[in-house]
Chains A and B, each alone.
Chain A
Amino acid sequence: MPAGTLYRGREGMWSWVAHRVTGVLIFFFLFAHVLDTALVRVSPQAYDSVIQTYKTPLVNLMEYGLTAAILFHALNGLRVVAVDFWAKGPKYQKQMLWTVVGVWVVLMAGAFYPILQHTLRTWFGG
């Protein structure tokens, strides 16, 4: 550990870093998302045209990335709650992080086709 730093590395620090990075990303998306949804008050055409952007392959992939960020933030957030409120939380924080990662991998694998099906169907038919 370098001198003069509070950063301690390992599961505790890196989950904190990932929680912070995903949180900031989600927050900026939330701004954009409220603004694009506000177009329903302009006209159906204005809303549908911006939603077309959400259906392009690149943005569709970004939706999968957003889901990845949200899912990690959600699962790790529950871990933080457990660390703070469950008496044995601090003792098992590492095991809980790897549980979070495991559940995250499984759910992200399961979400791959459902979320990207619009792009996959456009590319490969079906």
Chain B
Amino acid sequence: MATEISDSIVVPSAQAHTGQGLGTGNPADAFVVEPARTRTKKTPRRTRTNFEMLAWLFMRLSGVVLVVLILGHLLINIVLDGGVSKISFAFVAGKWASPFWQGWDLLMLWLAMLHGSNGMRTVINDYAEKDSTRLWLKLLLGAATVFTVLLGTLVIFTFDPNI
């Protein structure tokens, strides 16, 4: 009798590590472990969304855009035209008189903060072993991120050169 599954024996996850219930009689099957990434139609969904996959994808997409935005920002602000010497309120006013640079800085702010914040989340998850420590660090990170993004957005939209 032919079977559709040929490369592995699929067992319920509760039994996967023990091999209990396979009933093959072969001692080697006591160590059969379900292949880590095998998914079938019967695999239960652990979460409602693919949040971690989307976060992974966001890091790569935003990263590529940030390379252009931030290297351009550095080039214009601290490399070309005398370096940091020229930076002043008047320089900022000159840049933000143009919707192009307002949009550039706004996109850079949002992408950099979300990219950096998600990176810090990964670092916290990696090193903070205690559940409560992880929770508090991530709450602090979230609060700091929301505050900084909103403050920066407000500054760009409400900038007044004649203050």
Contact = CB atoms under 8 A, between A and B. Distances in A.
A60 B159 CA distance: 26
Interface in B141-163: 144, 148, 151-152, 154-155, 158-160, 163
Given A40-B159, A67-B78, A74-B66, A55 B84 contact: yes
A65 to B, nearest CB: 12
Contacts of A81: 60, 63-64
Interface residues of B, number: 38
Given A74-B67, A81-B64, A115-B78, A24 B120 contact: yes
B32 interface: no
A55 B85 contact: yes
B interface majority secondary structure: helix
24 contacts: A23-B119, A24-B120, A24-B123, A30-B112, A35-B148, A35-B151, A38-B155, A41-B158, A41-B159, A41-B160, A43-B163, A44-B89, A47-B92, A48-B88, A51-B87, A51-B88, A70-B70, A70-B71, A74-B66, A74-B67, A84-B60, A85-B60, A115-B84, A121-B85
Given A51-B87, A114-B80, A41 B163 contact: yes
Nearest to B68: A74
Contact of A114 (B60, B79, B89): B79
B74 interface: yes
Interface of A: 20, 23-24, 26-27, 30-31, 34-35, 37-38, 40-41, 43-44, 47-48, 51, 54-55, 60, 63, 67, 70-71, 74, 77-78, 80-81, 84-85, 111, 114-118, 121
A interface majority secondary structure: helix
Given A34-B113, A74-B63, A77-B64, 16 more contacts: A24-B123, A27-B117, A30-B113, A31-B144, A34-B109, A37-B152, A40-B159, A41-B163, A47-B88, A54-B84, A54-B87, A70-B71, A81-B63, A84-B60, A115-B84, A118-B85
